[in-house]
Amino acid sequence: MQTTLLKISCPDQVGLLARITNFIAQWGGNLTEVHQFTDAQDAWFFARMEIQTQTLRCRLDELRNAFAPIGMELQAEWSLRPAEARPKVVLMVSQLGHCLADLLWRWRSGELAFEIPCVIANHDTLRPLVERENIPFHCIPVSRENREEAFEQIEMLWREASADLVVLARYMQILPADICNRWSSRVLNIHHSFLPSFVGANPYQRAHQRGVKLIGATCHYATPALDEGPIIEQEVVRVEHFHSEQDLLRLGRDCERLALARGLRYHLAERVLVRGNRTTVFRD
């Protein structure tokens, strides 16, 4: 069954849900899934709806045009697209391949529906893994001396690929602040720590030294503030007293794969709504 996804975020007011659902009904849309949440503290409304496409009495562009005046009146951020669309996702990597390999498997198996126009790395290590999937691989080394021009080249590749989303699959370089701002809520990162604890580098080593009983990983949107972007998904695992630092690395990588895959799935399915530095996630 083909579906159309409506995602909306706006100031709260009485009758909002009824107004939106009545609009959909007027155009023949049958709602198959509805998620709604109102943040009472900020008086802000969030909703995600799945509409049975074949019941609509118009084309999608006509539905968008018809909804635009309502969206403007409600001061809303909103999107309306077919659920079957396959967004273009550029993957960014360094030398660790566990997250990349997991995403490639989920992409190849059809578990996650997206296109991969290219993979970009700052090392050549993972080229064979990518090219055996017939995906273009670009190696752009980044150093203190060439950092500015390297990221200009990287962003140019994103634009040439018409990327809808960029995923930092353990890409171990800090993005420039201006790129984070231009690509706000369109760069997904996996941090190998249960944020806000142990930001930055070597979190497993510091977690082991601290003697923590839980470690985890955090999938979040990249922002100019390092490892402080809106959190989408987190995964944790229990640590025992006999676990070594290498055990924490092994357990942590499992967390990273799961958190990143789920965060990407929620983003692709329009289940993530961002306001400020917080997210509302309508999980499936």
Catalytic residues: 227
- Give the separation between CA 46 and CA 270, rounded to whole angstroms: 12
| Positive or negative: CA dihedral 166, 284, 112, 196 | positive
**CB 154 within 8 Å of CB 140:** yes
Place of tokens 């159309």: 4
Asked if residue 249 lies in contact with residue 267, where contact means CB atoms within 8 angstroms, the answer is: no
- The C-alpha atoms of residue 264 and residue 163 are separated, in whole angstroms, by 14
The full DSSP string for 88-111 is BEEEEE-S--HHHHHHHHHHHHTS
Whether the CB-CB separation of 239 and 209 falls below 8 Å is answered with no
CA distance 250 to 13: 48
Provide the 3-class DSSP secondary structure of residue 207: helix
Query: Beta strand 119-121 with 278-281: parallel, antiparallel or unpaired?
Result: unpaired
Omega before 196 within 30 of 0, i.e. cis? yes
**Tokens, residue 56:** 């609509």
